[in-house]
Chain A
Amino acid sequence: MKTTFSSGESTEQVLPVVDAIVVGASAGGVEALLKIFSAIKPGFRLPILTVLHVPEERRSQLAQVFQARLPIPVKEADDKESIVPGTLYFAPPGYHLSVEADLSLSLSQEDRVFYSRPSIDILFSSAGDAFGARLAGILLTGANPDGAASLAYIKQGGGMTVVQDPNQAQARTMPEAALALHEPDYLLPLHDIGELLTELERIAC
């Protein structure tokens, strides 16, 4: 497990080639996501699928908030749409987001997982099934254990896993739950996760 990442380091950091990145966050997640995604440059070509726990009832402004700050297309995921490279997707409030075997997206309203719908576990495990080893999973700050088991599942399927350093997370329960289940490839502060995103894209595209 590596605890720093810098794209400028002379020692070649060996990153795998991935086709997609999945990200999960809960309490403190908006700030954390803004921080890691601020590293994204125009022309970024990997798709990023994100679950952030949000209240179910409201129409979410997430996509607009992030679109205003990022140079790539940002949208709330639609049912049955194909994943478009270089797009940042958010799960809509009140719906679980899954990746299907044909790499399209689907929404569902099954029971909440850890009181949450959308659930990080549902996105991560379905993406793990669909992408196998060609997937990077990133779990950030949060006050519940959603995402921990499925991040281990991504790892078990040969994918790459990243956990935010709990000491620097606004809520440490989620990253700690992840660490209790498996040793991720990287345990990093937010800044380094941003750099890693950029590097993953450079290698894959």
Chain B
Amino acid sequence: MADLNVNIGELKFKNPVMTASGTFGYGEEFSDFVDLERIGGIIVKGTTIHKREGNPYPRMAETPSGMLNAVGLQNKGVDYFVKEIYPRIKNINTNIIVNVSGSSIEDYVQTAEIINELVNIPAIELNISCPNVKQGGMTFGVSPVASAKVVKAVRSVYKKTLIVKLTPNVTDVAEIARAVEANGADSVSLINTLLGMAIDVEKQCPVLSTITGGLSGPAVKPIALRMVWQVANAVKIPVIGLGGIMNWKDAVEFLLAGATAIQIGTANFIDPSVTTKVIDGINDYLDRRNYKSVKDIIGALSV
């Protein structure tokens, strides 16, 4: 049994496998299928200062080796999270991380301040990369200046581990990552979904109510891997890799490319117990190759 512990900032994870925001609910939805306490971290659904109904149906389109979604951050708001959801999940023995989103810098700051007070939430993932909202979200994440601004503002009020989730819908992701690092992020996670589109040829109209949506699943993995590698070479803070990870092999690819930890997203829809299979698979790989710690393979890619 290899040592699977990793650290993101000052926060320790029992293993490098987390669940991606928006694909694992609040963890509870999956408790019949998987032992939640075996997972390194659970990143819960994107949370905003006020309740959001999200985008109209249809919000999803299946695509080759993936899917498009246009949920649009549907959630009941941070106060509901604090009152109703947090008490139910706070004692799950893993790192419960809240994905924080907003339409303005004030939204992000206020939500982060509220989450900062929750003892059993050791980190937030700042979502400056949602492609499915008209205001905020990705509009911050595509600009180094705007990214820097929102991260700086949140850093000034948020005292625990601050992860910033980056969008792949940019020309130079490393530039954004450096801007975020320079303004106090403890870690970056990438990639959020790639902007995509699907058309119903019989109706001759878009499948999604929002016309465009975010592409996820194995279709995006090579792009995600390339960006994680670029960012890991550009910043000193730990990188969390995600995008199309379906099995342990995919996860090991991201670790070799320089990710300190990984997130599993869309794969949860195909196999709700995939997370623990990936943890076991990483461990078997390390044992087979006589590594004592998962840290030994992080960024171990030879080029």
Q: Do A and B bind each other?
A: no
Interface residues of A (CB under 8 A from B): none
Interface residues of B (CB under 8 A from A): none
